[in-house]
Amino acid sequence: MWATGTLLNLATVLVGGLVGTFLGDRLTIRLRDNVVAGVGLFVAVMGIKFAIDTASLLYLLGAVLVGGIVGSLAGIERRLNELGAAIQRRFATPGRTSTIAEGFVTASIVFCVGPLTFLGAIRNGLSGDASLLAIKSVLDGFTAIAFAATLGWGVLLSLAVILVYQGGLAAGASVFASLLNDAQLREMNAVGGLLLVGVGLKLLKIRDVQVADYLPAIAVAPLLVAAVAAFGGAK
């Protein structure tokens, strides 16, 4: 069933988010920071692992530059933050500092950007194999505990994003598979890995990369591969 992996992912994030929200202040600041930093290191390394699988660094460069320009002009990061802020204003307690928006935006990006999301959803949709999404679900569950303990219950709002984005990819897997070849899928995964490195840098507080603005790069990558193939074929 194409929805199996996504449902499992939703369950682990829900449980992890609830556990993290419950633990909250019971976890020391140092412990919470170390958990988030550990997740940041893992996400960065995983991103590098997938990014270096590109057939050409020029694909990565072109996709990130074009995608970053498109995303910046569209204001994706700003719109996500505004959505989170609106939710925060709706649910935050007056006179108290809230991290609902940060929790929602951070969790949504970490849970929905990357090769495991794309590859896992596509594989689950095509063959019913949820193995990749099962791995992602375990990672997301532990990450949700750390995020919720640090940033609060806003992490749980990312469930809607996971359902729409990841579930949508799985549901439309057959369409994606008929349009993209292996080379295009490889570059999409590589660009997703590069964006994960940005997420890792953000979690490690090394650099506040506006990762959401680069999301169009994932769609630009297969277009570049097709353009190069067409140009090469015209010789």
Sequential DSSP letters for 92-119 = SPTTS---HHHHHHHHHHHHHSSHHHHH
Q: pLDDT for 101-146, tens place per residue?
A: 778 877 887 788 665 787 788 778 877 788 778 888 988 888 888 8
Tokens of 23: 């633990």
Highest mean pLDDT among 33-37, 92-96, 135-139: 135-139
Residue 233 falls inside a structural domain: no
Query: How confident is the model at residue 234, as a pLDDT?
Result: 47
Share of residues in the chain with pLDDT > 90 (%): 21
Residues 124, 6: contact at Cβ < 8 Å?
yes
Tallying the residues shown for the chain, one arrives at 235
Sequential DSSP letters for 174-202 = HHHHHH--HHHHHHHHHHHHHHHHHHHHH
75 in helix, strand or coil?
Answer: coil
Highest mean pLDDT among 18-27, 64-73, 105-114, 157-166: 64-73
What are the b/e assignments for 190-212, b being 16+ CB within 10 Å? Answer: bbbbbbbbbbbbbbbeeeebbbb
Spatial distance between the Cα atoms of 123 and 129, rounded to a whole number of angstroms: 6
Query: How confident is the model at residue 176, as a pLDDT?
Result: 65
Res. 230: pLDDT tops 80: yes
137 in helix, strand or coil?
Answer: helix
Residue 199 falls inside a structural domain: yes
Residue 122 falls inside a structural domain: yes
Residue 234 falls inside a structural domain: no
Query: How confident is the model at residue 98, as a pLDDT?
Result: 61
Res. 159: pLDDT tops 60: yes
Spatial distance between the Cα atoms of 171 and 167, rounded to a whole number of angstroms: 6
What is the residue-averaged pLDDT of the chain? 82
Mean pLDDT, range 30-49, rounded to an integer: 81
Report the number of distinct structural domains present in the chain: 1
Tokens of 32: 């919470």
Residue 152 falls inside a structural domain: yes
| Confidence grade of residue 58 (pLDDT, cut at 50, 70, 90) | very high
Query: Who has greater pLDDT, 23 or 177?
Result: 23
Q: pLDDT for 187-198, tens place per residue?
A: 988 888 898 888
Residue 150 falls inside a structural domain: yes
Res. 235: pLDDT tops 50: no
Tokens of 133: 């999404």
Q: Which amino acid is at 215?
A: L
Residue 87 falls inside a structural domain: yes
Domain interval for residue 214:
4-228
